[in-house]
Amino acid sequence: MSAVARANFDWNALGSLRLRASALADGLYVGGHRSVRRGVGVEFGGHRNYVPGDDLRWLDRHALARHGRALIREFETETDRMLRLVIDATGSMGFRSAQAPVCKLDYALTLAGALARLALNSGDPISLDWFAGENARWLPAMSGRESFERLLGVLGEARAAGDASFDSARLERSLATVGRYARRGAIIVMFSDLVDLEPRVFERIAALGSRGRTVLVVEVLDPEERHFPFSGAVRLRTVEGQHVVETDADLVRERYLAALDAQADNLARKLEERGGRLIRCTTSDSPVGVLRSLVTAALGERL
């Protein structure tokens, strides 16, 4: 998250927002919030690579002795209410028009950070996944006060880079990884401009909503992308790929906006079929309002 995003975010405006467990979630309740422990008696959920900071209690010493690799054993606890943040850091997310206060990635990072803080305050674990990006480091599920600072450190280093239009397979692999590790009852929040994504990627995103997971997609657009304020003859070039189009802005504005809405409607329909939601915003919108919409969407669907 950039310093600008930090400075501009009004945390007080969030009020008493809390991410609460779904009524349908199976698990134990400890106090007013769900437990974050991966305790005894839970179902084995698989292995993953060790990253610094992991609890050594879950280190699979047998695997270390046998294969020489540090692996962490993970268990699915039915009390888990994990927040998995998936951020699109492809090149198009770095776009910022003259009228926009920040670029799309910075806006998405702000929202992600704020959402993570809400989750951590509620005692829910968070994790972080990326689509492309530069210095975009993956973070495993974690909780605790220090997790927020760790998250901010990772968010602050990320830069928009990469071309989704040329490497949709990589994107699909990332989504598959998210789907594999997201447990039942987890909330998956994806921040993306949905630009240059193929239709089958939308299917993959919507498919994350299976197994009791909630998928929320935040479409972050620049105001220029949302309103197409050009006039006369224009020559436009994509950020990802080298697609160039010459057109008359006045004549094609309606058709562009219709195509943009159709794309969003397509994804929204797919998400809603699996209990998910699509939230559309622009970088000129108030992050607080978007965050309210996010929390409302997450809770409204499951309560």
Partner 1 sequence: MSFVTAAALAISLLIALPFAAHLLRRGRRSERPFPPARLVPAHDAVARQKSRLEDRGLLALRALIIVTLALLGAVPLVRCDRPLLARSQGASVALALVLDDSASMNVKAGKVTRFEQSVEDARALVGQLRPGDRMALVLAGRPARVQVGMTSSRAILLDSLAKLSASDRGTDLEGALGLAESLLAGLPQRDKRIALASDLAAPFAPPRSPFWLLRPEHAVAKSDCGLLFAQARRGGVTVELACNAEAAAAGRKLSARATQGGPARTTLPLPTRRGRFELSLPTDDVGGLTVVTLDGSDENATNDTLALSTLTRGRPIWTLTHPTDGQSVLGGPPLLEQALLALDPSVELHPLAVLPTDARELQTASLLLLDDPPALGAEQRLALAHWLEQGGALLALLGERAVTHQLGQGLAPLLEGAAHYEATDVADANSANSAKVAPSSFAWLGPEALRLADLRPRHRWSFELGLRQAGEQRGTYLDGTPLYYERIVGKGWLAVVGLPAAPSESELALTPGFLALLQRAIEASRSRSPDPVITAGSAWTFGANPPSEAIGPAGRVALEPGPHGVRAVAARVGPYRFQRASGSEARFASLDAAEVLEAPRPVPPEARATQSGPAPRLALTSPLIGLLLLLLGLERAYVLARGPLLARFWAFMPWVRSRRTHAI
Rounded Cα distance between 138 and 154, Å, is: 8
Binds partner 1 by CB under 8 A, chosen from 243, 286, 289, 300: 243
* Contact stretch for partner 1 (CB under 8 A) within 124-132, 137-145, 170-178, 248-256: 248-256
Could you tell me where the DSSP H helices lie in the chain? 3-8, 61-67, 104-121, 145-157, 168-181, 199-207, 223-227, 249-273, 287-302
Q: Least Å distance between CB 123 and partner 1? A: 38
Rounded Cα distance between 191 and 181, Å, is: 18
Q: What is the bridge-based pairing of β-strands 277-282 and 43-49?
A: unpaired
Site for partner 1 in 62-121 (CB under 8 A): 92, 95
Vertex 190 angle, CA 92 and 17, to 5°? 125
Q: Least Å distance between CB 246 and partner 1? A: 5
Binds partner 1 by CB under 8 A, chosen from 161, 207, 239, 299: 239
* Contact stretch for partner 1 (CB under 8 A) within 76-84, 116-124, 127-135, 258-266: 258-266
DSSP, residue by residue, 187-246: EEEEEE--TT--HHHHHHHHHTT-TT-EEEEEEEE-HHHHH----SEEEEE-SSS--EEE
Q: What is the DSSP letter of 14?
A: G
Q: Least Å distance between CB 282 and partner 1? A: 13
Vertex 136 angle, CA 135 and 139, to 5°? 130
Q: Least Å distance between CB 245 and partner 1? A: 5
Cβ contact 165:196 at 8 Å: yes
Our finding on whether 234 is near partner 1 (CB under 8 A) is yes
Our finding on whether 255 is near partner 1 (CB under 8 A) is yes
Binds partner 1 by CB under 8 A, chosen from 193, 205, 216, 297: 193
Rank residues 74 and 222 by Cβ distance to partner 1 and give the closer one.
Answer: 222
Q: Which residues contact 73 (CB under 8 A, 6 or more apart)?
A: 44, 46, 47, 58, 59, 60
Cα atoms in the Cβ-side hemisphere of radius 13 Å centred on 98: 3
Rounded Cα distance between 37 and 146, Å, is: 17
Q: Least Å distance between CB 221 and partner 1? A: 8
Rank residues 119 and 267 by Cβ distance to partner 1 and give the closer one.
Answer: 267
Q: What is the bridge-based pairing of β-strands 33-34 and 29-30?
A: antiparallel
Paired strand residues for 88: 131
Binds partner 1 by CB under 8 A, chosen from 3, 23, 65, 244: 244
Rank residues 253 and 292 by Cβ distance to partner 1 and give the closer one.
Answer: 253
Binds partner 1 by CB under 8 A, chosen from 157, 251, 289, 303: 251
Binds partner 1 by CB under 8 A, chosen from 233, 273, 286, 300: 233
Site for partner 1 in 209-228 (CB under 8 A): 222, 224-225, 228
Binds partner 1 by CB under 8 A, chosen from 86, 260, 267, 290: 260
* Contact stretch for partner 1 (CB under 8 A) within 40-48, 115-123, 183-191, 237-245: 237-245
Our finding on whether 167 is near partner 1 (CB under 8 A) is no
Cα atoms in the Cβ-side hemisphere of radius 13 Å centred on 126: 27
For partner 1, the binding residues (CB under 8 A) are 92, 95, 193, 195-196, 222, 224-225, 228, 232-241, 243-248, 251-252, 255-256, 259-260, 263
